[in-house]
Amino acid sequence: MNYLSTRGAGAGERHTFSDILLGGLAKDGGLYLPAQYPRVSADELTRWRTLPYADLAFEILSKFSDDIPVEDLRALTRKTYTAETYCHVRDDGEADRLAAQITPLKTLGVENGAPLSLLELSNGPTLAFKDMAMQLIGNLFEYTLDKHGETLNILGATSGDTGSAAEYAMRGKKGIRVFMLSPHKKMSAFQTAQMYSLQDPNIFNLAVEGVFDDAQDIVKAVSNDHAFKAKYKIGTVNSINWARVVAQVVYYFKGYFAATKSNDERVSFTVPSGNFGNVCAGHIARMMGLPIEKLVVATNENDVLDEFFRTGIYRVRKAAETYHTSSPSMDISKASNFERFVFDLLGRDPARVLQLFRDVEEKGGFDLAASGDFARVKEFGFVSGSSNHDTRVETIRDVFQRYDTMIDTHTADGLKVAREHLQSGIPMIVLETAQPIKFGETIREALLREPERPAAFTGLESLPQRFEVVPADAQRVKDFIAANTGA
Ligand SMILES: *Cc1c(COP(=O)(O)O)cnc(C)c1O
C-alpha cells in the first residue's frame, strides 16, 4: 500500500504505512491518504461479520499496512482490544459480555420507522472515543520504535479529551515519554484528576499559567525550533495522524454488523464532529464498500462543517469567533482532517486541493457552491446539521425520560441531528463519543441529578496528583523537557 499527499508533493515517491506512522503533515503541508482505497469483497464481509473486534481490526488494518508482518499486527490488535481495557460499560447486569464486544450497540427504539441505536465508543480508559484509536497508536509506536532502537518524546496541548487519551495510551510504554500541556485550573475536576493522577514516570503533566491557546502556542513554538525538535526527538499525536483515522474505520464495520442481519441491508451513521477525524473514517469505510446509506455530520454551535455541507462554502473561523460550548471537544475553528475528504470530492486532483487550501490560509475559506463538485457531496452520502446548548439539554432530558439512558453532551448533539435525517426502514446508528461523567455540569442542568460514574472511577478526584506548574513561556517548557529526557 502506497501513500500520497493530498497536495501532490513527492508523487511517484514511495511512502509505506510505517513511514507515515510517526509523522504528521506531508512535507507540502498536505495529508497522507492511500493511493487507492482497498475494496472489501462480499465474501470478506460475510466472513468478518462474526469476528471478535481485535480480529476485525487486524483484517482492516492489514489492508492498509502491508509492511508490518501479519503475525506482529495480529498480536498488536489482540493486545489493544481486550475486555479488560474496554471494561467501563455502564450496564451492570451483563458488563462482562458487553465489555468483550468492545463497542456494544445499544438499541434505543424505533423513530419514524427507523431503528435508532447508540454505538458505545467510550468504554475505554478515559471514557471517550479517542481511546479507540489512541490505544492502538500507543502499541504501534512502541513496536515501531523498538524495532528501530529509537525513542520519542510526545509534546501536546490539551483542553481535556485528547491529552488524557494520549497519556493513557502511552503510559508505561518503552521508549516513549509524554509532555502534555494543559491550562492550569481551567479543566473540570474530573478531567484534571484523570490526567494528573497518573504516576507513571514517562508521563509529564505541565499546567500552563494561561488558557488553552497559550499552551497550544508553546507547542507550536517548540515544534518550530527544528534544532530542538531533532535533538530531543519531539513528536505529536494529533488528529491528522493517519493511523488514528484508520483505526477508527473498524467500528463502522462492527456497528454495521451489530445493526443488521445480512449484507444486503444498508445503515446510516451520525457522527458528532469537530476535526472531521471520526467521520472521515466513516467515509473511508464507505469507500471500501461498507453499505452505508448516509453519513450525518453533527456539529455544535461551531458549525463550520454543517455550513459546508448545507451551502458548499467552507469558511474557517478566527479564534475569537469560536464559541466555548457545553460540548467542548467539538469547539473547533477549522476541521483539520477535512482536506482528506475534499481530495476525494474533487476526484483526487492535488493541484486543486493545493489551491483551495491556499485560499483557506489567505482568504479564510473557499466556495464550491457553484461548482459541479459540490453536487457530488450527495453521492458520497453526506448530510449535516447542528445543535446548540438548548437543544443539547433538551435531547439529554428526552433520551433519559424516553429510553432511561443517560448520554453526554456530544452524543446529544449527534442524536439531535440524527433525528432530522431518519429514513423509514434504515437503521440509524449514532456514535456515542463520551460518557456523561466527563461533562457532569450539563447533566446536572438537564436532569437535576448526578451523572453516572463507572465503578472504577470512584474517588478519582481525591487521588494524589502529580504535575508541574509552568509559566506560559516556551523556553521554560524546553528547559523542562531537556531536564527530564536525560539527553
Ligand atoms: C474529539 C471528540 C469529538 C470530535 O471528533 P473529531 O474526530 O474531531 O470530529 C466528538 N466528541 C468527543 C467526546 C470528542 O472527544
Measured from the CA of 160, which atom of ligand 1 is nearest? 15
Across 163-172, 206-215, 390-399, 401-410, least confident range? 206-215
The single residue of 27, 63, 79, 130 carrying the catalytic annotation is 130
- Distance, CA of 68 to CA of 56 (rounded, Å): 16
462 — pLDDT class (breaks 50, 70, 90): very high
Q: Which residues line ligand 1 (CB under 6 A)?
A: 128, 130, 161, 239, 272-278, 329-330, 410, 433-434
Query: CA separation (Å) from 52 to 58, 79, 288, 398?
Result: 10, 13, 20, 33
Q: Give the per-residue pLDDT at 431.
A: 98
Q: What is the mean pLDDT of residues 167-184?
A: 96
Give pTM, 2 decimals: 0.96
Mean pLDDT of the chain: 94
Measured from the CA of 161, which atom of ligand 1 is nearest? 15
Burial class from Cβ neighbours inside 10 Å (0-12, 13-18, 19+) for residue 109 reads: exposed
Query: CA separation (Å) from 311 to 83, 165, 200, 342, 363?
Result: 43, 34, 48, 15, 18
Q: What is the mean pLDDT of residues 90-105?
A: 90
160 — pLDDT class (breaks 50, 70, 90): confident
Q: Give the per-residue pLDDT at 320.
A: 83
Residue 410 CA, ligand 1 centroid: distance in Å: 8
Q: What is the mean pLDDT of residues 304-322?
A: 93
Determine how β-strand 114-120 pairs with β-strand 105-111: antiparallel
Residue 42 CA, ligand 1 centroid: distance in Å: 31
Q: Record the cell numbers describing residue 234, joined without a space.
A: 519531539
20 — pLDDT class (breaks 50, 70, 90): confident
Decide if pLDDT at 318 tops 60. Answer: yes
Across 138-147, 427-436, 478-487, least confident range? 478-487
Q: Indicate which residue's Cα is closest to atom 14 of ligand 1.
A: 329
pLDDT tens digits, 360-386: 999 999 999 998 899 999 999 999 999
pLDDT tens digits, 246-279: 999 999 999 999 999 999 999 999 999 999 999 9
Decide if pLDDT at 412 tops 80. Answer: yes
Measured from the CA of 277, which atom of ligand 1 is nearest? 7
Q: Give the per-residue pLDDT at 395.
A: 98
Q: Give the per-residue pLDDT at 307.
A: 97
Q: Give the per-residue pLDDT at 487.
A: 55
Residue 248 CA, ligand 1 centroid: distance in Å: 12
Q: Give the per-residue pLDDT at 26.
A: 86
Decide if pLDDT at 213 tops 90. Answer: no
Q: Give the per-residue pLDDT at 216.
A: 86
